[in-house]
Amino acid sequence: MRIQYFGVRGSLPTPGKSTIKYGGNTTCLSLNADGRQIIVDGGSGLRLLGLELMKLAFGRGQGEASFFWTHFHWDHLMGFPFFVPNFIKGNRFKHYGPAAAREVLVRQQAFINFPVEFSQMTSQHEFETLEPGQALALGALNVTSCRMHHPAGGLTYKFTHEGKSMVFATDVEHPAEGLDPELLKLTQGADLLIYDAQFTPEEYEKGRKGWGHSTWQKGMELARAARVKRLHLCHHDQQHADAFLEKSILAPAKKIFPRTFLAREGWGFDL
């Protein structure tokens, strides 16, 4: 699997000098397995991914990709209207995720919000609702999920290809005591856990419980309990500058789980 981050920020885009190292675009992940293009969420980083895809078959109207939507809060879909391959006739997209994906994307591009409505895009779009725990095979790529504990709900995905697995656990929150048992089960033995660490433990305790996000500390607990090989912390808070991320999130996390890294916009690697 080839994985690349195109957006790792949470809540809203935050461009500027203080976020230039890890990036200011909101959530978007590219995954490629055996030439099959997968896109996880469509935050503002999706615009950048679209420009890269235009250099390939998508620029000729011969591209095919699958979207996997975790949930439909705006920071995870705001880039979709600016995804250039949408406007190239012949490109084909299959959307997987919670119910109402089509309704949400259509509503986002209502004329009062955006000058080009969803129905006016010349690419083809097909939608399939996934239930928590439902297994899906796309060639040699296997996908399963569990319920995401986040306002309005959603799905946390696990992608497995040729014996390697990655769990994309953005926008998650655990019970007051212990770990979410469904997420723990899904994450067991993963080669890579990409995990929501939007808040520090101190921030979380001061008025952010129930917001549907987590901390680096809970990420450590999950990574150790599930025996994952590597941990990438993501969904960086809009108020966390690069220096803060390194000092207050990465540094203490590495002391507990040395194979911890901060997700960084533009970072691509093979799993």
> 24 — phi, psi (to 5°)?
-115, -5
- pLDDT number for residue 213: 86
In this prediction, residue 158 has a pLDDT band, given cuts at 50, 70 and 90, of very high
| Residue 134 in this model has a pLDDT that exceeds 80 | yes
| Residue 151 in this model has a pLDDT that exceeds 80 | no
Using DSSP's 3-state secondary structure scheme, residue 217 falls into helix
Decide which of 85 and 176 is more confident: 85
β-strand 64-68 against 92-97: which pairing, if any?
Answer: parallel
- pLDDT number for residue 174: 85
- pLDDT number for residue 149: 84
Residues above pLDDT 90, as percent of the chain? 93
- pLDDT number for residue 177: 85
Which domain CATH number covers 79? Answer: 3.60.15.10
Instruction: State how far the Cα of 112 lies from the Cα of 11, in Å rounded to an integer.
Output: 22
In this prediction, residue 210 has a pLDDT band, given cuts at 50, 70 and 90, of confident
Q: What's the Cα-to-Cα distance from 245 to each of 66, 88, 107, 251, rounded to whole Å? A: 31, 38, 35, 8
Whether 32 contacts 104, CB under 8 Å: no
Residue with tokens 């979207």: 67
- pLDDT number for residue 36: 97
- pLDDT number for residue 263: 99
Task: Tell me the H-state helices in the chain.
Answer: 46-53, 101-108, 181-187, 201-205, 216-226, 242-244, 251-256
Of 72-86, 208-222, 232-246, the one with minimum mean pLDDT is 208-222
CA 256 vs. chain centroid, Å, equals 24
Task: Tell me the H-state helices in 18-135.
Answer: 46-53, 101-108
- pLDDT number for residue 1: 97
Q: What's the Cα-to-Cα distance from 43 to each of 11, 34, 40, 144, 157, rounded to whole Å? A: 9, 25, 9, 22, 17
Q: Taking residues 223-238, what's their average pLDDT?
A: 98
Q: How does the average pLDDT of the chain come out, rounded? A: 97
Q: Taking residues 253-263, what's their average pLDDT?
A: 97
Q: Taking residues 223-248, what's their average pLDDT?
A: 98
- pLDDT number for residue 81: 98
Boundaries of domain holding 220: 2-270
Instruction: State how far the Cα of 266 lies from the Cα of 21, in Å rounded to an integer.
Output: 10
Q: Which pairs from 138-141 meet CB under 8 Å and 24+ separation? A: 138/33, 138/36, 138/38, 138/66, 139/33, 139/34, 139/36, 140/33, 140/34, 141/1, 141/33, 141/34, 141/36, 141/38
Q: How many domains does the chain have?
A: 1
| Residue 45 in this model has a pLDDT that exceeds 80 | yes
Q: Taking residues 138-154, what's their average pLDDT?
A: 92
| Residue 244 in this model has a pLDDT that exceeds 80 | yes
Q: Taking residues 141-155, what's their average pLDDT?
A: 91
